[in-house]
Amino acid sequence: MTGNEQRITPGLVGIPTEVDVVVVGLGITGAGVALDAATRGLSVLAVDAHDLAFGTSRWSSKLVHGGLRYLAQGQFAIAHESAVERGILMDVTAPHLVRPLPMLTPVNDAMPRSRTALTWAGLHGGDVLRRTARTSARTLPRPRRLNATEALNLAPALRAETLRGGYLAWDGQLEDDARLVTTVARTAASYGAHVRTRARATSATGTAVELRDGLTGEVHAVRTGAVVNATGVWAGDLDDQVRLRPSRGTHLVLRGSALPETRVAVMVPIPGSRARFAMVLPQPDGTIYVGLTDEPVTGPVPDVPTPSDAEVDFLLEVVATAFTTPPTRDDVVGAFAGLRPLLEVAGTDESSDLSRRHAILTSRTGVTTVVGGKLTTYRRMAEDALDAVVATTGLLALPCRTATLPLLGAAPREDLRRSTAPTRLVRRFGTDADLVLTTAREVTGLRDDELLAPVSEDVPVTLAELVFAVTHEGAYDVDDLLDRRTRVGLVPADREVAEPLARRALELVAGTVSARPTDQ
């Protein structure tokens, strides 16, 4: 295996002309499929028209769900699957990227007793799911009731005068959704998959794909044993039998100071509904997200969806019901929206919400589409997609092994806590934190204080991780660095401040590459 194959690279120079599997789309689904196929011993080419995590996968709530919502809808099998996959992510494959998140549902005078009873019963059901999925209470503690003082200790900004207490439950929270995608893609590359960005599939059948290099404009034909279409809300562009009706979900971004010392996620009941909540989600970088809406979208699918004013107002209004000094529009330093792929089955009038389930469809021409699901269940989606591919094509493949295969950088949380590497790098790269720093030192010749200095008080991003994103993670330009390898772009003002450092990282790496006598 050459060094290039182990790294994610932009463009199509040097790709093989024949592989076992071509994966189209490098959101979480495509990255997961690439990893599953590569670890079954298949040769893999995985491409994205733009960049890793360019689509829906970077606009999520960054939660690793246990399936409580499906339980409430009586969908036990999906709920169980979700809880099992959550446990795998938290305990085996990505303990470095998923942490236990305490979630507080405040109970106040305005909340009818029927609703509080339903909420508590639901949280208990969630705990049963945890146990049946064999996730320990050490990983995700049992839910418990809090009195008003305990609730206020965890979220002092809550309205104290009407607070009666609260329920505390636990779920998984990702360090960052795009980082999970990047880590899965890099792990796939480490098992030999060719992972390429800036590479659009312009047409596909089950045995051939035409790809356009976004950097050179060149067109490449690749022969293949199977094509997996993992293009999310764009799936219908590659297979006209797949019809989608997306719906938009919006989050707001606040500074931590807008709801001071909020140490837990807060589930704010949506007035007038029986079981819907808005979520206040503190993030590892110090910001707070508030989500989430559900708005049907018509017309062409945009590359980057935008939140509407009405969604921003709605979320602020709901949050205002729970906090003493509610955030206002001035506190909203960013907002982002993602599109859920809701599948419509061609040939029928039936439209069904499959965004939370996944579907595997094989087209007339032999393309296998995997769509729906969620970040939490990406591994199972990939396993099912590859099983379908193997069944329909007869490709010789090993059994799936991803349920026991740690992603790059994974280690038990206690080991990571003992690490002497810089905390931010450990949080985002696990045991690869040392590799990130060593690479940055070698490439730039700079001292650690410069490589590890945060961009500003509000922006913890470092030069070391930006350099590594270019050398190992296929980052090609400032957008890749600030909008996907890191998430500075979620706050436009912070993005402006970080841009010079991103440019510097690109220049530093370009300098060393052109200084080398020959590049491998």
| Among 220, 374, 424, 472, contact with ligand FAD (rule: CB under 6 A) | 374
CB contact at 8 A, 22 and 305: no
Tell me how far, at minimum, the Cβ of 45 lies from ligand FAD, in Å: 11
Torsional sign, CA 269, 270, 272, 275: negative
- For 477, counting Cβ atoms within 10 Å of its Cβ (0-12 exposed, 13-18 middle, 19+ buried), the class is middle
Stretch that binds ligand FAD, among 97-105, 127-135, 224-232, 306-314 (CB under 6 A): 224-232
Which one of the spans 155-163, 234-242, 440-448, 490-498 is the region binding ligand FAD (CB under 6 A)?
234-242
What minimum distance in Å lies between the beta carbon of 272 and ligand FAD? 22
- Residue 335, interface with ligand FAD (CB under 6 A)? no
How far apart are CB 130 and ligand FAD at their closest, in Å?
Answer: 16
Q: Which listed range, 57-65, 360-368, 425-433, 458-466, lies at the site for ligand FAD (CB under 6 A)?
A: 57-65
Q: How far, in Å, CA of 377 to CA of 359, rounded?
A: 12
E strand spans, 256-323 = 265-269, 277-282, 287-291, 295-296
Q: Which residues contact 279 (CB under 8 A, 6 or more apart)?
A: 61, 103, 265, 266, 267, 268, 289, 290, 291, 292
Residue 54 binding ligand FAD, by CB under 6 A: yes
Q: Which residue has the tokens 């995590």?
A: 53
Binding mask 128-167 toward ligand FAD (x if CB under 6 A, else -) reads ----------------------------------------
Minimum distance of ligand FAD from residue 29's CB (angstroms): 3
Most distant pair of Cα atoms in the chain: their distance: 73
Token output for 417: 């806590």
Q: Give φ, ψ of 189 to 5 degrees.
A: -65, -35
Tokens of 283: 């993030």
User: Which residue's CB is nearer to ligand FAD, number 65 or number 130?
Assistant: 65
Distance, CA of 3 to CA of 472 (rounded, Å): 10
Nearer to ligand FAD, 11 or 454 (CB): 11
Residue 29 found at the interface with ligand FAD (CB under 6 A): yes
Whose Cβ is closer to ligand FAD: residue 69's or residue 164's?
Answer: 69
CA angle (476 as vertex; 472, 478 as ends), nearest 5: 115
**Residue 249 interacting with ligand FAD (CB under 6 A):** yes
- Please report whether residue 375 would count as binding ligand FAD according to CB under 6 A: yes
Query: How many amino acids of this chain bind ligand FAD (CB under 6 A)?
Result: 39
- Secondary structure (H, E, C), 96-116: CCEEEEEEEEEEECCCCHHHH
Q: Which of 15, 26, 163, 180 binds ligand FAD (CB under 6 A)?
A: 26
**Residue 234 or 501 with smaller CB distance to ligand FAD:** 234
d(CA 474, CA 182): 9
Does position 201 interact with ligand FAD (CB under 6 A)? The reply is yes
Q: Quick one: 136 or 202, whose CB is closer to ligand FAD?
A: 202
Which of 20, 40, 42, 65 binds ligand FAD (CB under 6 A)? It is 65
Using CB under 6 A as the binding rule, whether residue 232 contacts ligand FAD is answered as yes
Tally of CA atoms within 13 A in the half-sphere of 121 that contains its CB: 9
Distance CA 99, CA 322 (A): 25
Which residue matches tokens 């960052």? 176
Q: What is the DSSP letter of 458?
A: S
- Name the minimum Å distance from CB 374 to ligand FAD: 3
Query: What whole-number distance in Å separates Cα of residue 313 and Cα of residue 89?
Result: 35
| 34 belongs to the binding site for ligand FAD (CB under 6 A) | no
Residue 204 CB, nearest distance to ligand FAD (Å)? 8
When asked if residue 59 is in the footprint of ligand FAD (CB under 6 A), the reply is yes
> For residue 18, which of 41, 42, 39 has the smallest C-alpha distance?
42
Piece of the chain touching ligand FAD by CB under 6 A; list 19-27, 148-156, 406-414, 451-459:
19-27
Site stretch for ligand FAD (CB under 6 A), options 61-69, 122-130, 255-263, 477-485: 61-69
CB 1, min distance to ligand FAD, A: 24
Provide the 8-state DSSP code for 473.
B
Residue number, 159 or 340, with CB nearest to ligand FAD: 340
Type of residue at 418: R
Among 194, 220, 340, 485, binds ligand FAD (CB under 6 A): 340
Taking the C-alpha atoms of residue 365 and residue 201, their distance in angstroms, rounded to an integer, is 15
The phi, psi pair for 309, rounded to 5°, reads -60, -40
Minimum distance from residue 62 beta carbon to ligand FAD (Å):
6
Q: What are phi and psi of 367, to 5 degrees?
A: -75, 135
State yes or no: residue 227 binds ligand FAD (CB under 6 A). Answer: no
Instruction: Out of 15, 22, 28, 451, name the contact with ligand FAD by CB under 6 A.
Output: 28
Which residue in the set 46, 238, 268, 335 belongs to the binding site for ligand FAD (CB under 6 A)? Answer: 238
CA dist., res. 223 & res. 231, Å (int): 20
Binding residues for ligand FAD (CB under 6 A): 24-30, 47-50, 54-57, 59-63, 65, 200-201, 230-234, 237-238, 249, 292, 338-340, 373-376
